[in-house]
């Protein structure tokens, strides 16, 4: 099983600035996957980006990129050119081993984008 | 394409009452999951079903039962609700091998209050 740690309970960022949300993971498995989800105030979980342990390149999805550093066991989310609509809770999550036994989540980071 | 659907969206119970939360997915995924989210926390896994006909306990299974009715449907039952089960419940589904493991999609959630 994975252990996921998010150390930033909250962040305030000016609109249009880039944002980095931290996530570290801990697993002894060679095969694992890492996710980032966005949870707006309406409550739904929105998938943002995925990185597999064997993926050679960092994942990117539009304005989202994942800064994957295996040696440091970190999987930070980078949001370029932040927008007011990016204000939300952000969760890092991961699976390890077989992968079919669910995700382990971090406690989340509350991101507030200021105009 | 509905994705993952959950019913009901809101529910208020009295201590000791029972209820079943319903979940269905139309993505032909093998694996399905039930999570709960408490205030200020990430999601925690209650039960999962890696394939039709199998179910397994997650991190917080006490007080819950599940049924994998068929490949599409996975229900969560509270036999005797307790105030500690007040939470938001999310159902999710995923593939179980290869690139399908990067598909972890969530339903909209059920907000349950136990008085």
Summarize pLDDT for B68-104 with one digit per residue, the tens.
989 999 999 999 999 999 999 999 998 766 555 567 8
Which of B35, B51, B104 is the closest to A35 by Cβ? B104
Note the pLDDT of residue B38: 95
Residue predicted with more confidence, B56 or A1 = B56
Contact B50 A107 (CB under 8 A): no
Q: Cβ of A29 under 8 Å from any chain B Cβ?
A: no
∠ at Cα A6 (A30, B111), nearest 5°?
A: 105
Task: Say what the pLDDT of residue B102 is.
Answer: 64
Predicted confidence band of residue A4 (pLDDT cuts 50, 70, 90): very high
In terms of C-beta density within 10 A (0-12 exposed, 13-18 middle, 19 or more buried), how is residue B98 classed?
A: exposed
How far is residue A95's CA from residue A103's CA, in Å, rounded to a whole number? 5
A20-55 pLDDT, tens digit per residue, is 999 999 999 998 999 999 999 999 999 999 999 988
Q: Which helix (H) or strand (E) holds B16?
A: none
Per-residue model confidence (pLDDT) at position A31 = 87
Q: What is the pLDDT of residue A89?
A: 97
Q: Which candidate from A99, A101, A107 shows the least CB-CB separation from B56?
A: A101
Burial label for B66, CB within 10 Å (0-12, 13-18, 19+), is buried
Per-residue model confidence (pLDDT) at position B99: 56
As a whole number of angstroms, the distance between CA A30 and CA B87 comes to 34
For residue A98, is pLDDT > 90? Answer: no
pLDDT > 60? residue A13: yes
Chain A hits for B106, Cβ within 8 Å: 37, 44-45, 47
The stretch A79-97 carries a mean pLDDT of 94
Confidence of residue A75 (pLDDT cuts 50, 70, 90): very high
CB contact under 8 A, A101 and B90: no
Is A62's pLDDT higher than 70? Answer: yes
Average pLDDT over residues B43-66: 94
């Amino acid at each position: 099983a994975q252990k996921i740690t998010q150390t930033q309970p909250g962040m305030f960022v000016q609109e249009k600035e880039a944002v980095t949300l931290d996530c570290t993971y801990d697993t002894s498995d060679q095969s694992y996957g890492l996710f980032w989800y966005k949870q707006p105030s309406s409550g739904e979980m929105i998938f943002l980006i995925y990185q597999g342990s064997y993926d050679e390149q960092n994942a990117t999805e539009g304005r989202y990129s994942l800064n994957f550093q295996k040696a440091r066991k970190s999987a930070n989310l980078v949001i370029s050119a932040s927008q007011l609509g990016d204000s939300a809770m952000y969760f890092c999550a991961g699976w390890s081993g077989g992968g079919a036994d669910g995700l382990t989540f971090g406690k989340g980071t509350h991101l507030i984008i200021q105009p | 394409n509905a994705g993952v659907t959950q019913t009901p969206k809101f529910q208020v119970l009295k201590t000791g009452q029972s209820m079943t939360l319903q979940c269905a997915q139309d993505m032909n995924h093998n694996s399905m999951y039930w999570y709960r989210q408490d205030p200020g926390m990430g999601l925690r896994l209650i039960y999962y079903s890696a394939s039709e006909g199998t179910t397994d306990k997650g991190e917080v299974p006490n007080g819950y039962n599940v049924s994998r009715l068929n490949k599409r449907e996975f229900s969560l039952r509270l036999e005797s609700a307790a105030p500690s089960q007040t939470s938001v419940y999310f159902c999710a589904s995923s593939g179980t091998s290869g690139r399908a493991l990067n598909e972890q999609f969530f339903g909209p959630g059920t907000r349950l209050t136990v008085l």
